[in-house]
């Protein structure tokens, strides 16, 4: 069984510059610094800003969504609206705002009825670009994701672990002209990483044991690490 996201990695030319951006506009704290990577905290999710060079690489033009308490949403909208040309969309009763970071990643902030804490927090959605949508959906279902919105006619499918959502997109533009990320590297908590990995081993490009758990390279070149 899969649950919550552990990390998302973005590829950036200069980690220090994008670190300053996320500090200034989203107030994300630095929790670790390495020579080619800076790790920020978005609630319980780590946002890794990684310079080009190492493998797995971080994602390019990745669309992802972070959480803000609904009581703070209007303040975040006003604050970010002074600098960015925001796009807003409503899903049922929940609003989300969209803007771009300097590396071309589409960042979404979605309001949630959080009782405790404040500020920008956990990752709740990640979008991957895939070449063959049906095959990618089958792969991630065998990993433990469940379909919650089958929009294949629109070239997209939304899946969930119950802890966060994953959208698989054929090459396309979404809300705010967002694109799915390419060669994305992310981690997900799993009860039995090796058992889950066996379900997709025949179709994965690679399955590797790592310190965190098991790293899987999916057929589109995305890396998902199952963290035990």
Domains and CATH numbers, the chain: 2-227 (3.10.180.10)
pLDDT at 114: 80
Going by pLDDT thresholds of 50, 70 and 90, the confidence category of residue 156 is: very high
Half-sphere exposure of 150 (CA within 13 A, CB side): 7
What is the longest distance spanned by two Cα atoms in the chain?
50
Tell me how crowded residue 161 is: count the other CB atoms within 10 A of its CB.
20
> Measured between alpha carbons, how far is residue 223 from residues 76, 110, 152, 164, 206 in Å?
32, 25, 23, 17, 9
Query: What are the tens digits of pLDDT across the range 18-50?
Result: 999 999 999 999 999 988 999 999 999 999 999
**Do residues 18 and 28 touch, judged by C-beta distance below 8 A?**
no
């Amino acid at each position: 069984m899969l649950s919550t996201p552990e990390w998302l990695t973005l590829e950036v030319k200069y980690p220090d510059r994008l670190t300053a951006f996320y500090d200034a506009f989203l107030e994300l704290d630095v929790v670790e610094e390495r020579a080619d990577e800076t790790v920020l905290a978005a609630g319980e999710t780590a946002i890794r800003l990684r310079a080009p060079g190492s493998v797995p690489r971080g994602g390019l033009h990745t669309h992802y969504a972070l959480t803000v308490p609904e009581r703070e949403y209007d303040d975040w909208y006003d604050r970010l609206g002074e600098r960015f040309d925001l796009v807003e969309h409503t899903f049922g009763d929940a609003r989300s705002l969209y803007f771009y970071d300097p590396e071309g990643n589409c960042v979404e902030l979605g309001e949630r009825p959080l009782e405790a804490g404040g500020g920008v927090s956990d990752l709740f959605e990640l979008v991957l670009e895939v070449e063959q949508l049906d095959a990618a959906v089958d792969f991630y279902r065998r990993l433990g994701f469940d379909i919650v919105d089958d929009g294949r006619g629109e070239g997209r499918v939304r899946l969930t672990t119950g802890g966060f959502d994953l959208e698989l997109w054929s090459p396309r533009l979404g809300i705010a002209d967002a694109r799915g990320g390419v060669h994305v590297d992310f981690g997900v908590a799993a009860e039995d990483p090796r058992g889950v990995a066996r379900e997709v081993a025949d179709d994965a490009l690679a399955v590797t044991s790592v310190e965190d758990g098991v790293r899987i390279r999916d057929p589109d070149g995305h890396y998902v690490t199952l963290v035990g």
